[in-house]
Structure formats: C-alpha cells, structure tokens
Amino acid sequence: MDHLRFNVTDAVPNHRRGGELRVTLSPKTVGSTSGFGGVLWLSPGEFVTEHYHPYSEEFLHVITGTMEMSLDGQPVRVGAGDALLVPIGVRHRLVNVGDQQAMVVFHLAPLAPRPDLGHVDTEQPIAATSEHPDVGTVR
C-alpha cells in the first residue's frame, strides 16, 4: 500500500498564488479519483490571491497561525483548530494576519474535468507558472 502514501517533501512547492503550497494527495501523486489535497504555509502578512473553484468545494483545516479568509468579500477569521468550508463558486482570498507562520491542510473535491479548469483567478497570481496545484507536481 506504499503507492497510496506520499510525503510532503516529495511535492514540488507551488508559489503561483502566494505562500508555499504542496499537493500531497492527487491524481498525479497517488492516483486519487475524487479530489486532491495538501499543505499550505503562509508567513506573516503573506496571502493567497483571490480565486474560485467552479467545480470543487474546498475544505481548510488550520493547524497553526491566525488567518483571515475573505469569502465573496466577507472576512472570516480562523485560527489553529478551526476548519472552514469554501463552497463551489465562492471567491476566496486567504491572508496570514498573525505574527507567526501559518499552516493549513486543504482538500478539494470533486475534481474539475481538467486541471486547468479547477481554479479561476480573480486577482493576478504572484508567480507566473503553467503548473496547476491540483496536478500535484512530483520531484
């Protein structure tokens, strides 16, 4: 069953929308068929640019830090131990408003028909890249 296990250090960091996002469980990494997930780290003041998912819900579990998630422009403060659901089609932007590094575990489901359809940017991405985090690029 080792083919179903994937270590975060084997995932290539994705900085496209901000922070350091690493997809650990995905169709590319472990052959998942219903969704994908991973880990996101944000330094104090760092943010993930606004976007939405036309096909997927996003589940966030805050491990460390204090953040503010904007959902269709409405702020929601979340901290360690909090979980948050981002419904399909809701614009969202995540900011680390605390004074320590924040860590979030995330999962999106169901999968979009193609990786390039999974995210729609409503704010200019931070880093230009062709990689889509849901693909799960492996080192």
Largest CA distance in the chain: 43
Q: Name the residue among 16, 41, 29 with its Cα closest to residue 135.
A: 29
Domains of the chain and CATH, by start: 2-128 (2.60.120.10)
In the prediction, which pLDDT does 126 show?
83
Low-confidence ranges of the chain (pLDDT < 50): 1, 130, 139
Stated pTM of the model: 0.88
Q: How far is Cα 44 from Cα 99, in angstroms, rounded to an integer?
A: 5
Q: How far is Cα 70 from Cα 58, in angstroms, rounded to an integer?
A: 13
Side-chain-side CA neighbours of residue 23 (13 Å): 26
In the prediction, which pLDDT does 20 show?
95
In the prediction, which pLDDT does 139 show?
47
